[in-house]
Amino acid sequence: MGRFLDQKFYERSDVDKVARKLLGKRLVTVIDGVMTSGTIVETEAYSYAERGCHAYQNRMTKRNEVMFGSGGHAYIYFCYGMHYMFNVVTNKKNRADAVLIRALQPVQGIEYMMERYNTSNGKRITSGPGKLAKAMGITKKLNGASLIGSEVWIENGIEVSPRQIVTTTRIGIDYAGTDALLPWRFYLKDNEWVSKK
């Protein structure tokens, strides 16, 4: 059992650094009494200052209002008609930054993840943002939930050295123009759970 990440960690103003630091940490959910957890192996940073972000130019809507709250909350939204995306809200109130968790390596409760996924194959069921949300039991009900809470939180996991971190551009945001070139996607080198290209 690792130590909880605290409010101070989430309120940092450099969202890309937070995204890097989240690699190797452990995401834990307790849904209907079922605990599942996984090591974070892939993240992407989003900031209100760039076009890839839902909160670009401080545009607040009903969907993304959680991002404008203080860091340390879950921002979950529904996309492509079938997938929930799990984000960690960072920075201070009215500074709408977030980190998208794109892939996990299962640690605990993988049998429950397979059950949620309705499969007997435990391979690659958390290697993508839509997939890990399903495996972890994450739905819109957790939107706005505190990460210093009892349903979902992040705790210290494995040590990651800078040499293990690969940096690339983000995925699926071609509409963002030159901001799509920002090197704000991070993943653990050679980890088989990172989402495939």
Partner DNA sequence: TAGAGGATTGAT
Partner DNA sequence: TCAATCCTCTAC
Task: Report the interface residues with DNA, using CB under 7 A.
Answer: 44, 46, 52-55, 59, 61-64, 67, 75, 77-83, 85, 87, 98, 100, 128-131, 140, 171-173, 175, 195
Cα–chain-centroid distance for residue 47?
14
DSSP 67-112: GGS-SSBEEEEEETTTEEEEEEEESSTT--EEEEEEEEEEEE-HHH
Shortest distance, position 33 Cβ to DNA, whole Å: 26
Q: Which is nearer to DNA, 23 or 100 (CB)?
A: 100
Q: Which is nearer to DNA, 28 or 96 (CB)?
A: 96
Q: Which is nearer to DNA, 32 or 175 (CB)?
A: 175
Shortest distance, position 125 Cβ to DNA, whole Å: 7
Q: Which is nearer to DNA, 4 or 56 (CB)?
A: 56
Residue 144 CB-half CA count within 13 A: 9
Shortest distance, position 174 Cβ to DNA, whole Å: 8
- Asked if residues 149 and 31 have their Cβ atoms less than 8 Å apart, the reply is no
If 0-12 CB within 10 Å is exposed, 13-18 middle and 19+ buried, where does residue 171 land?
A: middle
Shortest distance, position 64 Cβ to DNA, whole Å: 6
